[in-house]
Structure 1
Amino acid sequence: MDKIKSRVIEIVAEELAVDVDEINEDSSFIDDLGADSLDVVELVMAFEEEFDVEIPDEDAEDIRTVDDAVNYLEDIL
């Protein structure tokens, strides 16, 4: 597992209080992991802080799964 993906999964587990083993690439933050819209905003903020990037709101709206987050971060880093 690459570094970005593993760190995204760690952040998701920490922010949403779920076990790392419950998270896979296509896990939806809301549908599969029980996040609400505020949790998703907090996840995006955690990604921004961890990777020292700024994610515009219009891009953040498209980040709905672990894979979405990983692909987005890989593209901008």
Structure 2
Amino acid sequence: MALDVKDKIIEIIAEQAVLDPSDVSLDQTLEALGIDSLGLVESIFAIEEAFDITVPFNANEPDQSEFDISSVAAIVKAVQGLIEDQKA
């Protein structure tokens, strides 16, 4: 499942950045990929829909969010945590 989560998130982020998924690495930031605040919000919505989760994210104050968006890897880890919490 973890690999599927990572691959799906990379696919969603690549789509927002208009890149091939192979051009997205885990250590990259969304900013480095050219994703602006609107793209970030659209990515969050796509992630919520893909995994049937609710991301605790405030688009008006992304720095105040519990959801770590500092890198692609951080997003993958946060989503995996939300999926595990939902199963519990």
**What band does the TM-score fall into relative to the shorter chain?**
0.7 to 0.9
Match of 2:86 in 1: none
- Percent identity over paired residues: 33
**Counterpart in 2 of 1:73?**
79
TM-score by length of 1: 0.86
RMSD: 1.5
Measure, in 2, the Cα distance between the counterparts of 1:59 and 1:35: 20
* Structure 1 portions without partners, runs of 5+: none
Q: Given residue 54 of structure 2, which amino acid in structure 1 is its aligned partner?
A: E
Larger radius of gyration: 2
For CA contacts below 8 A with separation 6 or more, give which structure has more relative contact order: 1
TM-score, normalisation: structure 2: 0.76
Trace 1:1-77 onto structure 2 (pairs within 5 A).
2-30=3-31, 32-57=32-57, 58-60=65-67, 62-77=68-83
